[in-house]
């Protein structure tokens, strides 16, 4: 994040409920029942959001969707409001979603990027997976580290990525 958005401010880390990390050459998150994927929440200045959107290819390659991050360690409502303000906190019981958390934006791969872009059917690059694995380790995430390590090992051996 620091490379692309040098003024970004770390807010917290946590999990996106019912979402899983997957790859179509590049990383993506998809809906996956009973699975939670690690995520980091950043406050990015608007001028850097514009640059990040351009870099990520928003509209053609990625779209931006709102999600609720479940902070870890767990925060109560007052702590979440202190971090991001009341407008950015989802309180359990307001709708179908049963867990309180912080509302944020995630970049989600478009169908075109997953199925038609030139690299969509290639496995991810080793250095790319290493970069993501390093981020997971730096944030002390336990979940998904084994998946990423298995993926990296398969790529080194020249095998198909694990499911």
pLDDT tens-digit readout, 8-53: 999 999 999 889 888 889 999 999 888 888 999 999 999 999 999 9
Range of the domain at 115: 9-120
pLDDT digits (tens, 9 = 90+) for 62-97: 999 999 999 998 998 899 999 999 889 988 765 555
- Cα–Cα distance between 116 and 118 in angstroms, integer? 6
Q: Are 122 and 26 in contact (CB under 8 A)?
A: no
Q: Tell me, yes or no, whether 145 and 80 share the same domain.
A: no
How many independent structural domains does the chain possess? Answer: 2
User: Does any domain span residue 88?
Assistant: yes
Q: Give the lowest-confidence range in 84-88, 103-107, 149-153.
A: 149-153
User: Does any domain span residue 3?
Assistant: no
Side by side, which strands form the sheet with 89-90?
26-43, 9-24, 62-71, 101-109, 89-90
Q: Tell me, yes or no, whether 138 and 115 share the same domain.
A: no
Distance, CA of 138 to chain centre:
15
Q: Tell me, yes or no, whether 28 and 41 share the same domain.
A: yes
Q: Tell me, yes or no, whether 113 and 127 share the same domain.
A: no
């Amino acid at each position: 994040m620091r490379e692309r958005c040098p003024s970004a401010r770390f807010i917290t880390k946590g999990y996106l409920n019912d979402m899983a990390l997957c790859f179509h050459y590049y990383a993506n998150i998809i809906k996956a029942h009973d699975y939670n994927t690690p995520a980091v929440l950043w406050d990015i200045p608007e001028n850097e959001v514009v640059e990040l959107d351009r870099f990520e290819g928003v509209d053609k390659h990625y779209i931006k969707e709102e999600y609720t991050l479940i902070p870890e360690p767990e925060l109560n409502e007052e702590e979440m409001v202190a971090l991001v303000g009341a407008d950015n906190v989802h309180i359990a019981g307001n709708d179908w979603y049963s867990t309180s958390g912080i509302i944020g934006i995630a970049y989600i791969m478009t169908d075109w990027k997953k199925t038609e872009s030139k690299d969509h059917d290639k496995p991810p690059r080793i250095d790319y997976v290493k970069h993501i694995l390093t981020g997971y380790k730096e944030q002390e995430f336990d979940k998904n580290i084994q998946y990423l390590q298995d993926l990296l090992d398969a790529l080194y051996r020249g095998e198909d990525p694990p499911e």
